[in-house]
Amino acid sequence: MNAMLTSALAQIRVTNITSPEGLTGRRGVVYTLPRSVIEVELFITKTQLVPGPLAPYAKDYLGLQEVITKASATYSLDGAEMNVFTEPDPDRVYLIEKEEKSAGEIWLTFGTSGQPAQMEKFFRDAKPKGFTTWGEAVILSPASDHLFSRYSESSTREVIDTIVRKVSVDTLIIEQTVFKRSMIGFSDKEKAEVAVDKIKQIEQDKYNLLVGYQETAYSREALEFMFNKLEEERLEYRKLFTGVEIKERYTVKFFVTPNQALEGQTYNLTGFSRTNGIVATDSQNAVSLSFVRSKSLPGIVEGGPLPGTTGLVYRLPEKAEAVVSFQGKKIGRELIEVLQFGPVYTLPPELKRVEFDVESGALRYLILE
């Protein structure tokens, strides 16, 4: 937003308003200087190991030594990004009044340069959105259909027996075929044997494709399609023994409004655990945001200008190095402008025209008489 103040032989009075009572019985225009809000976005990866239902038979049937035998879930903090927004600074609210004995008039105009920014808050006593079930059922069931689609959860299977009866009458022999259906036990060991047979058959089919056993002139695209489909099928059966690794990536956002009066400029965002993800903050697991200020400019930083100044109040932004760290390791770093870190000044009363940027609180141009 841009604001322009035009003064022609007119005097103004600018007062810092610190409470609603400061506006009682007074007439004028209220404006605020902006302050910066830092949005910190953390990138987290959850890695889950799910053992295959036939893992105990991996060594005996496939000769595999390294397979997943125990379900587990771990979390990693992969990085951080920062964005800067602005909002009105409640400590920098000012009232512009025209002096009663002032001659001439004052023109004050405001314009919008963009859409208003929308903000949200994160309360520390609430879990971040997207992690409301952290710590609850973090291990998927090994019998999940979408993980092991080739595994049968049934403990029985159907068997069809063929019975041939022969009836002899004199020299005539009559054969009668009877199909008998029954359900028998289907142990994991038998399931492992069936799965191994499937793997061997698929490997043979892949070999036949490569050597041209079918004696059919398939195109290259057709061969690649069939070969890839067979490989996918083989891996599905192999997962029954090796298990699967599942990676899920999350982002969680925090908002920090730096306080220029705070020493150290370190803010704890959240706690992080490699076994539970987002947790309560303590001295060992804190993910923190810290600022290293440049302090390159002097100014009225503490308390602002005295009440009743005759000049418009403005601010010069200050740059600071923002660092997100976890257990002594930097996971994000950016050089940003933090408006409330900058010094505050007042304009001289001899101004004729002034334009300043409400987004940063800095001057655009100034004309003095």
Pick 227 or 134 by higher pLDDT.
Answer: 227
Q: Which two tokens stand for residue 348?
A: 């001289």
**Which of 39-43, 101-105, 356-360 is predicted most confidently?**
39-43
Residues 2-13: what's their mean pLDDT? 52
**Which of 37-41, 106-110, 156-160, 314-318 is predicted most confidently?**
37-41
Q: Where are the domains positioned within the chain?
A: 2-140+248-368, 156-242
pLDDT of residue 147 exceeding 70, the answer is no
Residues 167-176: what's their mean pLDDT? 69
DSSP single-letter state for residue 115 = P
Which residues on adjacent β-strands are paired with residue 164? 177
pLDDT on residue 34: 86
The beta strand positions in the chain, using DSSP E, are: 2-8, 12-17, 29-50, 72-98, 105-111, 156-169, 172-185, 244-256, 266-273, 277-279, 286-293, 313-315, 318-326, 329-338, 344-346, 351-357, 362-368
Residue range 273-307, pLDDT digits in tens:
998 888 888 888 899 999 988 766 555 444 444 45
The per-residue pLDDT of the chain, averaged, comes to 76
Q: Residue 193: which of 235, 233, 243, 241 has the closest Cα?
A: 241
pLDDT on residue 231: 93
pLDDT of residue 29 exceeding 60, the answer is yes
Q: Which residues, 6+ apart, have CB-to-CB distance to 109 below 8 Å? A: 3, 4
Q: Where are the alpha helices (DSSP H) in the chain?
A: 58-62, 188-211, 220-242
- The count of other CB atoms within 10 Å of the CB of residue 37 is 20
pLDDT on residue 233: 92
Q: C-alpha distances in angstroms, 231 versus 126, 198, 209?
A: 46, 12, 12
Residues 180-204: what's their mean pLDDT? 82
Residue range 300-314, pLDDT digits in tens:
444 444 455 667 788
Residues 178-184: what's their mean pLDDT? 62
Residue range 78-113, pLDDT digits in tens:
999 999 988 888 888 888 887 766 555 555 555 443
Provide the phi-psi class of 13: left if phi over 0, else alpha when psi is between -120 and 50, else beta.
beta
Q: Which two tokens stand for residue 23?
A: 């506006």
